[in-house]
Structure 1
Amino acid sequence: MRTWMLAAVAVLALSACEDGLEYDGRDAGYFSEDDGIVVTGSRVDRASFAANEPMGVIDAEARTEAGLSEPGNGEPSAPETETFLAYRYAYGLRAPAEAVRPLVQQHQQTCEAAGPSVCQIVNANVTEAGSDRVNARLVIRAEPGWLTTFRDGLEADAENAGGEVTSSSQSAEDLTRPILDTQARLDAQIQLRERLTGLLDRQGANIEELIRVERELARVNGDIESAAAQLRAMRARVSMSIADLTYQSEIRPISRSTVNPVGEAVRDFAGIVLGGLAVMIRLIAGVLPWMILIIPAVWLLSRWRRSVNRRKAAEKAKT
């Protein structure tokens, strides 16, 4: 029993000693001189590598460019519970033909008056196939709060123009995973850039190693710029929603375009008659030279055949 008690006391003492020890990652003596790691083909001792800034330090300028928050300000840069959705709305409006263009212009002017930071016109076009057939489309990108107010007023705008809202739909694209993946890749590249920058300042590096580090640093900077641009584009899609508006004129059973062909035919009557007469004159003018040659030839041929027939008849009478 006494032996077991001494063994237990020894184990507890060893545990207490281990808990009291703190490992310092910057202690180069913990590793041997030959112990090292390879960064883009260059061998660096672990003590020099550990002396660089820790993994948690992120470049503030790159974070600002990508729209990320600074660490330690109480707001996580991309919490796992946060969802990034890019919303898209589609509406179909129908109005009298003469009211379609003014309605499109009204909505376009409303967006322009809000300013480019709130509303942007992506596409706007009007197509007229006759005075009673007008189609139009307006695509805008706007801040969600402003767009909600705009969408709520579409029905009233259509009614004031003598029309109505015929269709509406809403869809959302989940960009949570692409944003979080791009942000994580950007953070990792920024951390790698910090470490590579530290490697350039270390003592004892030869020219070949410095060239390799600089080449890798240039590649990392390119990746950072690309990831930051992608992140800004995706965050812009989340911060502003799309509204796709299509306008169509009302279909009338008997419209001006229905009777237009008859009126146009009456107006063109004289032109059609004169056009036909002109065709006949051209035809006669084209055939007349040939008639001058064909008529004498036919007359001579018929005379020759008559003479041949008379000769044959006379010979037959003699026999």
Structure 2
Amino acid sequence: MRLFLCQFCGARLYFENRYCESCNHWLGYLSDTDTLSALVCLDEEAGSAGLWQPLAAPDRRVRFCANALYDACNWVVPAELGNGAVLCEACRFNRIVPDLDDTTNLARFRRIELAEHWLIYTLRQLGLPIPDRLEDPAHGLEFHFLAPVPGKPKPLTGHDEGVIVLNIEEAEDAIRERNRAAMGEPYRTLSGHFRHEIGNFYWDILVRDGDKLADCRALFGDDRQDYAEALKRHYAEGAPPGWQDHYISAYATAHPWEDFAETWAQYLHIVDTIETATAFGLRVKPPGEAAGTAPLAADFDPYRAKSIEEMVAMWLPLTFAMNSLARSMGHGDLYPFILSPAVIEKLGFINDLVRRR
């Protein structure tokens, strides 16, 4: 994620900021121009539900997304679209949300919305299609954020023909860490959930419906094998010996769909983290770095990388630095994955899919 600057005072801003902590101007994200702008209120009595003037586009009038009322969104919509009850370009994919009068649900929803907005930003930067249910009633994207109901089975996070379900308990660090440890995973975050499940969504669009099945099966395996049986076998037997040579994670060994989704998530991790590093002007080249890797360049644009080799050459020294810094603070590795040649080849396939768009 890149950094932004306040148009009023020049202070540095983060993507999720609702207001500038330096000059106290309210902020709104203009998705059509990818700009986080300081705002001037044009209707003091209406407050956040009223009209606002972006300093980055003073000729425009905007309103906050309807989810701003829950302190869950800082994106704005054109004033002509409605009277403040309109959802933004990210929140419009939310079909089912929990009862937000419940304070626990509301706190979880706010964390989920941040991860969702981060995802939609990345997909837009990559130029990927994001059809909603109105554009594609059968396969368009929609999110169901479900709260557990006492006495009923817990909702399972997953994807089915464009519908992405997320158990909102995953927004709780303690619960998510417990699940991570129980399932033997090295990494589990809200962003990771979104990036994995959106990988399943794009398998449908770019592979199944994009005439790439044969190429994909040659790398990831035959997706026609029984999915339920494959998962049952995985949870009973675990990953096969030596899986690290061919897969990014143990879970990726369960089925070719999961291998693709896990690899897709890694691709988004890499793209977004490199963008963040370049936004801070980082240049990383550890001493003794292996031949074939390059220092991170401050002007490198991961969204326009022509080859995965170019991206990986910058990613490896960055992850070495990230993990070393985390260990210095007494934490585990921020990036606990190994990119084997086979995994890099799979990442290259995904990069080529994205570049075709």
Flag the structure with larger Rg: 1
TM superposition score normalised by structure 2: 0.19
Q: Which is richer in helix?
A: 1
Q: Which is richer in strand?
A: 1
TM superposition score normalised by structure 1: 0.21
